[in-house]
Amino acid sequence: MTPHAGAIGQPLARYAAYKRAGDFLFLSGVIAVDPARGRVVGGFADLPDAVRAELGETGEFSIDIRQGPMLAQSWFVLDRIRAILREHGGQMDDVCRLVQYFRDLRDYPLYARVRRQFFPGAPPVSTVVEVSAMLPSTDVLVEVEATAFLPPKT
């Protein structure tokens, strides 16, 4: 379900989704909006089957309905960041800083579990903040800004 290159950087309003400045790539906050469907990712059903199993979908409604939205949004956001980096010749190891915004900091452990899949080694420098709301709706649970260092490959 990784969005195609044309949909990766499409912002929801009038701003730049990312900007290259020398060897740095700055990404605006990325949220889990599926551009092909025009809606916020709501749970495991919005992800590819292999990813659902990898994230720990249990098949038990009472568990998946609580954990699914945060796990799915976390994966979708980090996968979009990975796709933008690839578009610019980079990879997740090039990320040097993340700023993560949460509607509820109690969701952080679920996000951190997913983040370890994208950053299995040392994670980037990070800031974690709880906010009261995010655009475009209250369904958005997490937003992540990233800064990557992308020196020319020699």
More confident residue, 17 or 72: 72
Q: Is residue 42 part of a domain?
A: yes
The rounded percent of the chain whose pLDDT value lies above 90 is 80
> Do the domain assignments include residue 154?
no
- Kindly indicate the confidence band of residue 16, based on its pLDDT and cuts at 50, 70 and 90: confident
Q: Are 147 and 24 in contact (CB under 8 A)?
A: yes
pLDDT digits 0-9 by tens, 57-102: 999 999 899 999 999 999 999 999 999 999 999 999 999 999 999 9
Residue 106 structural domain: 5-149
Q: Is the pLDDT of residue 106 over 70?
A: yes
Amino acid at 51: V
CATH code, domain carrying 70: 3.30.1330.40
Domain count, the chain: 1
- In a domain, residue 132? The reply is yes
Residue 5 has pLDDT above 80, yes or no: no
| pLDDT value for 6 | 43
* Residue 115: partners with Cβ closer than 8 Å, 6 or more residues away: 74, 78, 123
Cα 110 to Cα 100: distance, rounded to the nearest angstrom:
13
**pLDDT at res. 12:** 54
Q: Is residue 86 part of a domain?
A: yes
